[in-house]
Amino acid sequence: FKARWWALNKVKTVCSYCGTGCQLTLGVKDNKVLTTIYDENQGFHNGQLCTRGRWGYQFVNSSKRLTTPLIRKGDTLQPASWDEALGMVADRLKTSKDAAATLVTPRLTNEELYLLKRVVKDAVGSDNLDHSGGYAHEALTAGARESLGFPGSPSVIADIQKSELLLVIKTDAYETHPVIGFEVNLAVKRQGVALRILSDKKGKLSRLPGAQTYVHTPGAELVLVNALAKTIVDEGLHDASSVGAIKGFDAWLKSIESCTPDQAAGQCGIAADTIKAVAREYAAAGKALIMLPLGMGYPGHGKALAQALINLALLTGRVGKEGCGVLIMGEKNNSQGAADLGIHPTANGLNAQAILAGCSAGSIKTLYVVGENPVVSYPNRKQVEAALDAVEFLVVQDLFLTETASKADVVLPACSFAEKDGTFTSLGGAVQRVNRAITPLGDCRSDFDILNMLHAKLTGQAAYTSQKEAFADLAAATPGYAGLTLEGLGDAGAVRVNNCTASFVPVATSTVTTEAGKFALLTGSALNHSGTLSLYGEGPMLVCPEGYLELNKDDAAKLSITEGDAVTMKSATGELRLKAKVGTRLPQGVAFAPYHFAEASINSLTGATAITWITISK
């Protein structure tokens, strides 16, 4: 960058990519973010950042940023004033009422999410509010809410270093939450913590010294976790002194009666003796922490999986103890904040899937999309595009003219994290301050200011006069946030309280399915990317510039595919050509593709089921 270090204005804030919640310092000059500055005194991670945090900020000053409101006139989107654009949006929302729906990104600050909830639920009168986490993280936090009484993890990031055994379920923290991957690395190498991984593919964590990875059939996580619990009970390895006192134990025990290691082995592809050995090791460890990293790709049994993992931790007396428990790792920077604030439909409201179905059916007339790009990031692209094309009125509030925004009737230009004040809540429950480093570009407004202006159009007055007022309001209304104040958070932030009231919840058992002659397609995050935002950062794009299909080298050899070949994939919902990446990370019969890329849109193949079955040919 072209500036002396001493000439930079340095602003402390929080990374806007994943739920780890790394603090960072932005180096700013002439209203441009020019760099991030390493500060070893910052955050739990001593200033370390992954590629996304270190280089991903370039999207802030991207020349592709939207800088003025746009209104559709005929086939084109044309510049408009805020007054005109928001007037149209308010009119449509007002007339639509419960035929209006909102999809919001969990990248917004807590204050913005809380204000959005007020706008759509109170000022518009609609309960149809959801976010992309509704496809993955929300199911897990809903499971936690039933098991623990609050929608989050009973553990914090610091538990990783204090544990004696880490049991990582599915996927790889190094790719989804890289700085947490560093923490695992330190725990293994410095503290000698044992690492056991149950996953449908190997990852970078598998290469750590002493790590044991047990690769199972895709979709078998729940079957496997229940078999671990069954082994622990049958062999008397559970904490008999504590479990009897926990609500729901007997009913849960009955629900796992048939979940024997032998029964699981037939479905998991892991031998019964291995399942028993992992269960014994987990039970015997003085302190054990279960980790569940998320990267958009758990439709299906997410809720039951979270509950099964919490049951397993409760069974061994490991909830509420240092170095123990379950760490549910939400994908986006404020996924946990969205869960805490209840950004999901009420009993009467529609979730994301039902909202899109309503758009297609005509029952949803106005769709307000805030910071989401459903065309690329939601499953089943064709269905999503059809829904967005069908809805009468589409409003998109975003930084860029995304594939979704280009279909809109009104586009509202929003601000990046670097142009905002507020708070994010990390996956460990740390509420941390986000500080404005530059003034909004062009005629952009922060989501907070846009929502406040929209509230004024709808009701005659703005909802809040300051961030401080909004934070005080949300803290009073959100369990675990009582007593927190914006000023009191300081540079370090504060961990919100988990009011844990644990109980065993009977879990549904599931059956693992396979389709002969087809590949199980896994989708998720690629290293250095997060959602679709990182596509506008030069750093992440240098490291991983395009989508790809990864497959096992033996499968590739059988299909005469070599690294870099273009391959055709077909599923029940579509067809796509991608470059092949060949390796040993995946078992035979399994393929993986990241979901971030618009042109190589893997979600044109996915549907509503947890596993998509595809054919692959050269």
Closest separation in Å from C-beta 182 to ligand SF4: 8
E strand segments, 52-193: 70-73, 76-79, 100-104, 129-131, 165-169
**Considering the complex, what minimum distance in angstroms separates the CB of residue 516 from ligand SF4?**
39
> Does residue 504 touch ligand SF4 according to CB under 6 A?
no
Residue type present at position 587: P
- The CB-of-17 to ligand SF4 minimum distance in angstroms stands at 3
Please say which residue, 52 or 581, places its beta carbon nearer to ligand SF4: 52
Nearer to ligand SF4, 181 or 325 (CB): 181
Q: Count residues near ligand SF4 (CB under 6 A).
A: 14
Residue whose CB is less far from ligand SF4, 44 or 135: 44
Least spacing, CB of residue 21 vs ligand SF4, in Å = 6
Give the neighbor-by-neighbor strand order of the sheet with 422-425.
422-425, 430-434, 494-495
CB 56 within 8 A of CB 536: no
Between CA 14 and CA 315 the distance in angstroms is: 36
Contact flag: residue 526 with ligand SF4 (CB under 6 A): no
| Least distance CB 50 / ligand SF4 (angstroms) | 3
Interatomic CA distance for residues 599 and 583, integer angstroms: 24
Phi, psi of 278 (to 5 degrees): -65, -40
Which single residue brings its beta carbon nearest to ligand SF4? Answer: 53
**45 vs 585, which CB is nearer to ligand SF4?**
45
Q: Which is nearer to ligand SF4, 53 or 203 (CB)?
A: 53
Query: How distant, in Å, are the alpha carbons of 76, 531, 539, 596 from that of 551?
Result: 42, 22, 26, 18
Helices (H), 69-109: 82-96
Least separation, in Å, of the C-beta of 489 and ligand SF4?
17
Q: What is the smallest separation between the CB atom of 42 and ligand SF4, expressed in angstroms?
A: 11
Interaction between residue 269 and ligand SF4 (CB under 6 A): no
Smallest distance from the beta carbon of 553 to ligand SF4, in angstroms? 30
Contact pattern for ligand SF4 over residues 168 through 197, marking x by CB under 6 A = ---------xxx------------------
What is the arrangement of strands in the sheet containing 32-37, beginning at the earlier edge strand? 9-14, 23-29, 32-37
C-alpha to C-alpha distance for 196 and 206, rounded to whole angstroms:
9
Sites for ligand SF4 among residues 279-338 (CB under 6 A)? none
Query: Scanning residues 48 to 87, which ones bind ligand SF4 (CB under 6 A)?
Result: 49-50, 52-53
Select the residue interacting with ligand SF4 from 15, 211, 350, 438 (CB under 6 A): 15
Residue 238 interacting with ligand SF4 (CB under 6 A):
no
Q: Check: CB of residue 404 under 8 Å from CB of residue 371.
A: no
Q: Are 59 and 416 in contact (CB under 8 A)?
A: yes
Q: Quick one: 48 or 513, whose CB is closer to ligand SF4?
A: 48
Least Å from the CB of residue 157 to ligand SF4:
11
Q: Which is nearer to ligand SF4, 52 or 318 (CB)?
A: 52
Q: Which is nearer to ligand SF4, 20 or 604 (CB)?
A: 20
Structure tokens at 141: 């936090």
Binders of ligand SF4 among residues 529 to 558 (CB under 6 A) are 530
Burial class, 412, CB count within 10 angstroms (exposed 0-12 / middle 13-18 / buried 19+): buried
Mapped onto helix, strand or coil, the DSSP state of residue 308 is helix
Structure tokens at 600: 């190589």
| 22 makes contact with ligand SF4 (CB under 6 A) | yes
Structure tokens given for 575: 């067809």
Q: Would you say 36 or 102 has its CB closer to ligand SF4?
A: 36
- Please name the helix (run of DSSP H) or strand (run of DSSP E) that holds residue 375, with its range, or none: helix 374-377
Q: Cβ neighbours of residue 254 under 8 Å, at least 6 residues apart?
A: 506
SS3 of 422-476: the string is: EEEECCCCEEEEECCCCCCCCCCECHHHHHHHHHHHHHCCCCCCCHHHHHHHHHH
CA gap 132, 570 in Å, rounded: 25
Binder among 17, 400, 592, 595 for ligand SF4 (CB under 6 A):
17
Site of interaction with ligand SF4 (CB under 6 A): 15, 17-18, 20-22, 49-50, 52-53, 177-179, 530
